[in-house]
């Protein structure tokens, strides 16, 4: 059987219940089935900032969304987010991502802000040693995995290292 909307073979056979006792049958290829099943578009509202960002990210990031970018599979060693996940959600996973995805993010920042260098307030206390920050996030991740794997010996070691760094930082 062919798809009702094109020449491809129909692989989806859908029965919609129109009202009580009445139904309608559809035969679609993958693509048209997806179109048919997609919820109607929501009423137009003023786009929120994250939507604007998402559009910018989707349209401006290297490689269009359909054409995966070589960076898509790249993952942050600290929080494990992939560049593709960021492109889909518009949100980064941790402060270190700005380092990891630097080459991809710079053109994006240029597009959003027209600039790529901060000017303005600087925290009074010197920013914490970056190495220590990322190590902490990484160790916490390893701790999570160790606990999940019930490797309590490793977990105890990791906890000690985390405490050590935290104490060094004076907290």
Partner 1 sequence: MTLDDLTKSSGEWLRGTGPESDIVMCSRIRLARNLADFPFSNRANRGEKTEIEAHFRSAIDQAGLELTYIDVNGLGLLDRKFLVERQIISRELSDGEGPRGVAISSLENIAIMVNEEDHLRVQFMLSGFRLPEVWDAVNQLDDRLEEHLAYAFSPQLGYLTACPTNVGTGIRVGVMLHLPGLVQTKQIDKVFRALQKINLAVRGLYGEGSQASGDFYQISNQQTLGKAEPELIKILTDVVPQVLQYERAARQTLLNERRQHLHDQVSRAYGVLKTAQTITSEETMLLLSSVRMGIYLSLIDDLSIATVNELFLQTQPFFLQKLRGTELGAEERNVARASYLRSRLSNGRQAPRN
Closest separation in Å from C-beta 45 to partner 1: 6
Residue 131 interacts with partner 1 (CB under 8 A): yes or no? no
Total binding residues toward partner 1, as defined by CB under 8 A: 46
Residue 50 interacts with partner 1 (CB under 8 A): yes or no? yes
Task: Point out which span in 22-30, 34-42, 63-71, 134-142 binds partner 1 (CB under 8 A).
Answer: 134-142
Residue 88 interacts with partner 1 (CB under 8 A): yes or no? no
Distance CA 1, CA 23 (A): 20
Site string for partner 1, 95-124 (x = CB under 8 A): x--x------x--xx--xxxxxxxxxxxxx
Residue 146 interacts with partner 1 (CB under 8 A): yes or no? no
Angstrom CA distances, 49 to 13, 45, 46, 112, 114, stand at: 39, 12, 9, 11, 16
Q: What are the two backbone dihedrals, phi and then psi, of residue 113, each rounded to the nearest 5 degrees?
A: -105, -15
Among candidate residues 97, 61, 60, 99, the one with its CA nearest the CA of residue 82 = 97
51: tokens are 């939507």
Three-state DSSP at 32 gives helix
Nearer to partner 1, 12 or 89 (CB): 89
């Amino acid at each position: 059987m062919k798809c009702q909307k094109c020449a491809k073979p129909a692989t989806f056979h859908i029965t919609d219940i129109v009202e009580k006792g009445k139904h309608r049958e559809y035969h679609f290829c993958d693509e048209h089935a997806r179109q048919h099943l997609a919820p109607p578009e929501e009423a137009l509202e003023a786009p929120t900032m994250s939507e604007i960002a998402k559009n910018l990210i989707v349209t401006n990031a290297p490689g269009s969304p359909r054409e995966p970018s070589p960076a898509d599979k790249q993952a942050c060693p600290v929080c494990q987010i992939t560049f593709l996940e960021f492109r889909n959600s518009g949100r980064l996973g941790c402060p270190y991502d700005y380092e990891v995805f630097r080459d991809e993010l710079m053109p994006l920042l240029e597009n959003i802000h027209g600039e790529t260098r901060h000017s303005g307030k600087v925290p009074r206390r010197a920013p914490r040693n970056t190495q220590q920050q990322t190590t902490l996030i990484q160790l916490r991740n390893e701790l999570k995995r160790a606990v999940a794997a019930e490797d309590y010996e490793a977990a105890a070691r990791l906890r000690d290292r985390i405490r050590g760094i935290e104490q060094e930082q004076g907290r």
